[in-house]
Amino acid sequence: MSFSARQIAPNILLWALAALFLFPVLWFLLSSFKPGSELFTWPLRLFPQDWTLSGYQTAWTRFDFQTYFLNTAIVAVVSTVFTVFVSACTGFALAKYRNRLVQIFFLLILVTTMLPTEVIMPSTFAVILGLGLYNSLAGIIIPSIITATGIFMFRQFFLTVPDELLQAARIDGAGEFRIFFRLMLPIARPIIAVLAIFSFQWRWNDYIWPLLVLNDQKKYTLQIALRSIVGAENIDWAVLLGASVISLIPMVLLFLVFRRQIMNSDISSGLKD
Amino acid sequence: MHSLNRRTLLAAGLAATAAPALAACGGGSSASPDAPVQFMLSGDANQGGGYAAMAEKYLEETGIQIEIVDVPYDDLQTKVRNASKANDLPAIGRMPSIDPVWLDRTVDLSEVAAEVKPIEGMYARDEEGKVPALPSDLTAVGMFLNKDLWDEAGVEYPTSFDDNVWTWDEFIESANSVREANGIRFSLVMDRSSHRLNSFLYQNGSEGLRLNEDLSQYEANDATVEALERFVAMNDDEVMPRSVWLTEEDPNAMFKTGQIAAYYSGSWQIADFVANIADFEWVSVPMPAQPDQATNFGAAAQIVVFEGTGQEQQALDFVKWLYSPENYAEISRISGFLPATEGVEVSYEDRQEDFDLYNAAIAASPAFVGEIKSRDLALQAAGTAAPLSGDPVRDEAVKAIAGDISAADAVTAALEQLNESLA
């Protein structure tokens, strides 16, 4: 088998680009195995002289990772389940029930994408307070359930599903709920996967909203806990590196399991949560 | 076309209302006197866990639980402001400064102050004599040298205030010869902060940009512009790298590379250096004086007790207990604090001589430094100044270093912004 020059050049270029992307991650990973005294040695070394897990150990003992993992997992999983379900219902209704009010409603939902999350934060905070959800995980989950992006994704998808399919089901005597659960949801599986992955990522990495809503350390999510390693004047780099690697593990696992869907989902990236 | 029938609508409505109700379980704030007493602070775990250790000791002695809530430093103010709005303030806070948002929700600590005797000027009273906050501990500006480099170059340096303390000219000359002898990058790095810059100004005959006596105006004496000019001139990418002030390069990391002869920072670095510098020896030395010996010292944070938590008495008891000489010496030892109360002797685990040097520097500082601090605190306690966006002294100095404006213009502009906040 022989390679022509036309194949070799792009291949080299792609490998070089891949290496460029990999390099910071590799540096980050290797640094997490260095003791604090080696992080800033001159000249810089890629590999640790003295391999150590002390950063990980301190991070694990100093911070209650189990609690933070559990809290973050609850928030990410519960809000993802609700987000997917609510978006699917709403998207279905907006695509398949033609009614002037429904169309206006859809317009209103779309308009909300114009407002950055930060702008509506004070009013959302007031609502959360009024509902007595301050300092509870529910206070993070509920405001994040409804995303215009998710609704829009489902609506656009259901528009492509021919109306004849629904009419056939109705003639066969299926009710609206049955149509939705048995017919529509199964064909929307790719969209469900994409939105679920997005939503999980968003919630896992959420920072500012949990910070505002949560007051009790036992309810902290991972990102707030990580942030507290950065002190007023000093940063404990060794601990921060160890803790960051630990916090990445679930996302890496998620990627490995859902690799195919995630690669497909990137086509629709650039959407906001 | 299909229209929604009534049954479908009803079911959908039910589902929609049930979802949030299900998720709403749990939550709500608790403030019963038996609940643990919340103590909100930042960075305790990073500073050796002193407050956590004291809370544990308190639990053993009294059976009362103090719950330490460690919040990221940058968000501590935001967090407490929001908690104040939500009527969910912690019982105790260790705050970077006094905030007008919650100032009138603090408990008067004058009784505790009379008992624990914080260092004069490190706490303030308002017009009615109320003491809203006590200093948690002190920090002071100081200088570190890379001892190996200085020894290698054979350049002498003072080690105590009894020696003939050097002037800035002498120091720069010595540091430059260390740089040249070792072939390293820079002679000096200084944190990008007005706190450190002020200390430099004090040592050069200026009194910084300070409040006048009746707190109505900020002023700068005649030596200020010249002192700032000197600082700007030092940022020449030889003596000092411009990248620290202009693009926020981390001076702590730069010093750790061993490519820097001296680092102008402060007492809080000692613990970090003990743990994270293994490649070379380092020392704390007296800072240069031209002609004035001074360090910029002050309260690292303010301890406040909040009102309306139903736990004011428990909180006060704990604060009193915390400041008792024995306990205060213990937390100072664990966390590497410079004590903020009079007559407390601390024996530190590491580098006692460095801490002693800082305490000597504080004692040797001229009276106006303490005066500046107490006026700043009095202004905070009065709660009349508008909050500043950013740090005028630092931000204008950065413009001067970038060459956009002259040092004189920088001082004028910073004064203008500071005075605007008083108007």
Tell me the residues of chain B between 267 and 296 that have a Cβ less than 8 Å away from chain A: 268-269, 272, 275-279
Q: SS3 letters for chain B?
A: CCCCCHHHHHHHHHHHHHHHHHHCCCCCCCCCCCCCEEEEECCCHHHCCHHHHHHHHHHHHHCCCEEEEECCHHHHHHHHHHHHHCCCCCCEEEECCCCHHHHCCECCCHHHHHHHCECCCCCCCCCCCCCCCEECCEEEEEEEEEHHHHHHHCCCCCCCCCCCCCCHHHHHHHHHHHHHHHCCCEEEEECCCHHHHHHHHHHCCCCCCEECCCCCCEECCCHHHHHHHHHHHHCCCCCCCHHHHHHCCCHHHHHHCCCEEEEEEECCHHHHHHHHCCCCCEEEECCCCCCCCCCCEEECCEEEEECCCCCHHHHHHHHHHHCCHHHHHHHHHHHCCECCECCCCCCCCCCHHHHHHHHHHHHHCCHHHHHHHHHHHHHHHHCCCCCCCCCHHHHHHHHHHHCCCCHHHHHHHHHHHHHHHHC
pLDDT greater than 70 at residue B22? no
| C-beta atoms of B1 and A211 within 8 A | no
Q: How confident is the model at residue B415 (pLDDT cuts 50, 70, 90)?
A: very high
Asked if A228 lies within 8 A of B23 by C-beta distance, the reply is no
CATH number of B37-137+300-349: 3.40.190.10
CA–CA distance, B311 with B90 (Å, rounded to integer): 9
Contacts of A176 in chain B (CB under 8 A): 4-5, 8
Tell me the two tokens of residue B394. 């630092």
Parallel, antiparallel or unpaired: strands B134-135 and B302-305: antiparallel
B70 in contact with A, Cβ within 8 Å: yes
B38 Cα to chain A: minimum distance (Å): 9
Q: Which of A31, A39, A40, A94 to mutate to test the interface with B (most CBs of B within 10 A)?
A: A40
Between CA B363 and CA A164 the distance in angstroms is 88
- Asked if the interface predicted TM-score (ipTM) of this complex is over 0.85, the answer is no
Is B423's Cβ below 8 Å from some Cβ in A? Answer: no
How many Å lie between the alpha carbon of A10 and the closest alpha carbon of chain B? 37
Task: Establish whether the linkage from the previous residue to A190 is cis, with ω within 30° of 0.
Answer: no
Which part of chain B has CATH 3.40.190.10? 37-137+300-349, 139-297+386-422
What would the mean pLDDT of A122-147 be, rounded to a whole number? 91
Instruction: Kindly report the pTM of this predicted structure.
Output: 0.80
B32 pLDDT band, cuts 50/70/90, is low
Residue B142 pLDDT greater than 70, yes or no = yes
From B28, B49, B73, residue closest to A136, measured CB to CB: B28
Closest-CA residue of chain B to A208: B75
Q: Distance (Å, rounded) from C-alpha A204 to C-alpha A68?
A: 11
Mean pLDDT of B97-101: 89
CATH number for domain B139-297+386-422, candidates 3.40.190.10, 3.30.365.10, 3.30.1330.10, 3.30.750.24: 3.40.190.10
How far are the Cα atoms of A92, A216, B383, B409 from residue B229, in angstroms, in the given order? 68, 48, 33, 11
From the list A97, A135, A236, the residue facing B2 with the nearest CB is A97
pLDDT score, position B15: 44
Interface of B with A in 159-218 (CB under 8 A): 191
Which of A204, A184, A271 is closest to A69 using CA atoms?
Answer: A204
Tokens 């391999």, located at residue: A51
In chain B, what residues touch A228 (CB-CB under 8 Å)?
Answer: 42-43, 45, 70-73
pLDDT the model gives residue A265:
57
Cα distance between residue B293 and residue B309, in whole Å: 45
**How confident is the prediction for chain B on average, in pLDDT?**
89
Residues of B in contact with A132 (CB under 8 A): 24, 27-28
Question: What domains can you pick out in chain A, each with its CATH number?
Answer: 35-43+52-268 (1.10.3720.10)
* B75/A227 Cβ within 8 A: yes
Asked if B150 contacts B261 with a C-beta cutoff of 8 angstroms, the reply is: yes
CB A75 within 8 A of CB A221: yes
Question: Is the CB of residue B20 less than 8 Å away from at least one CB of chain A?
Answer: yes
Confidence of residue A266 (pLDDT cuts 50, 70, 90): low
Preceding amide of B241 cis, omega within 30: no
Query: What's the pLDDT tens digit per position in A167-186?
Result: 999 999 999 999 999 999 98
Residue B83: closest C-alpha in chain A: A215
A136–chain B nearest CA distance, Å: 4
Give the distance between the most distant pair of CA atoms in chain B. 95
Interface touch A36/B279, C-beta < 8 Å: no
Considering Cα of B198, then B201, then B202, then B203, what sign does the dihedral take?
positive
- The β-bridge partners of B186 are B260
Would you say residue A1 has pLDDT above 60? no
A136/B73 Cβ within 8 A: no
Identify residue B402 by its one-letter amino acid code.
Answer: A
Query: What are the tens digits of pLDDT across the range A171-229?
Result: 999 999 999 999 999 889 889 988 998 899 889 988 889 988 887 778 889 988 888 77
Over the stretch B40-74, which tens digit does the pLDDT of each residue have? 998 887 788 899 999 999 999 999 999 998 888 88
Q: What is the pLDDT of residues A73-84, one digit of tens each?
A: 999 999 999 999
